Amino acid sequence: MGLYIPFKALKVGKQKFQTLAASSSQPLQAKRGRKPRSKEAPLLFVDEIEPITSTSLLTSGHINLAMQYISAQFPHIGGLYCTTLGASLEFPTPMEACLLQIIHDPVAEHWLVAAKGFFDSDDDDLLVYDSLEFTPQSRRHTVKCLRNLSPSSKTVTAKLCQKQEDGFNCGVFAIAFAIAIANNIEPSTLVFDIKKMRAHLTQCFINRTLTPFPTTSNSKSTRSKRLHKVFHI
């Protein structure tokens, strides 16, 4: 059963393009796995996709559209569910070996990324990429979402990744982390070029496909050897 999400035309400057439908909904297909608690598909509320400015906050509309593109490009990856399922703690448990999900923490008003099955990690090893500081105490809602997505996981590894330098770029970083992971690129080895991130995301939406975000010359594979924090959940 598809999870139906309405998307409207995205206006970027003077350019307009249709995302998934002009005025009607389009399905974001649910991956196989544990069904949500309700017997019927939940009514999903997502924000309209507004123009991306230099300081605008990304909404559920932007995040869901990005995940839909990733899902279409990488059909073997599980998760990538509509973010509003997380608000009611109804994320299904995907059957796929690889899991990827952008999660919204309503307390912190913050976007972050969860992944499993990437980079030779253990089968039940959950990875979290947070452009702010992650702890189970500061991300209690996120931890509950993680338990829905992977009930068998007992620990989560908070990867040391690039941190945002402001209060409005968490959604951009979350999408950048997610598309890197989908391409089997470890985000902890990357330093994104912050000045180019939003223009890159806008162009990706125009092209209807996501590509890895621009990085600086400081991106080095040795960063992945830094210590990460492991928490019991």
Q: How high is the pLDDT of residue 8?
A: 37
Contact 30, 91 (CB under 8 A): no
**Closest residue by Cα to residue 66 from 32, 29, 19, 99:** 19
**Phi–psi pair at 85, nearest 5 degrees:** -65, -30
Q: How high is the pLDDT of residue 46?
A: 67
Q: Give the residues of the chain that fall short of pLDDT 70.
A: 1-46, 220-227
**Encoding tokens for residue 166?**
């402001």
**Phi–psi pair at 122, nearest 5 degrees:** -60, 155
Q: Between β-strands 77-79 and 155-158, what pairing exists: parallel, antiparallel or unpaired?
A: unpaired
Give the 3-state secondary structure of residue 12.
strand
Give how far Cα 79 sits from Cα of 1, 59, 66, 107, 157, Å.
Answer: 15, 19, 13, 22, 18
Q: How high is the pLDDT of residue 9?
A: 36
Instruction: Give dist(CA 200, CA 180) in Å, integer.
Output: 14
Give the 3-state secondary structure of residue 79.
strand
Q: How high is the pLDDT of residue 193?
A: 97
Instruction: Give dist(CA 174, CA 40) in Å, integer.
Output: 30
DSSP 23-41: SSEEEEEPPSBSPPSSSS-
Q: How high is the pLDDT of residue 223?
A: 52
Instruction: Give dist(CA 155, CA 152) in Å, integer.
Output: 9
Length of the chain in terms of residues written: 233
Architecture of the structural domain at 2-232: 3-Layer(aba) Sandwich (3.40)
Q: Give the predicted TM-score (pTM) of the model.
A: 0.80
Burial class of residue 40 (count of CB atoms within 10 Å of its CB; 0-12, 13-18, 19+) = exposed
Q: How high is the pLDDT of residue 47?
A: 78
Q: How high is the pLDDT of residue 219?
A: 73
Q: Between β-strands 10-12 and 15-17, what pairing exists: parallel, antiparallel or unpaired?
A: antiparallel
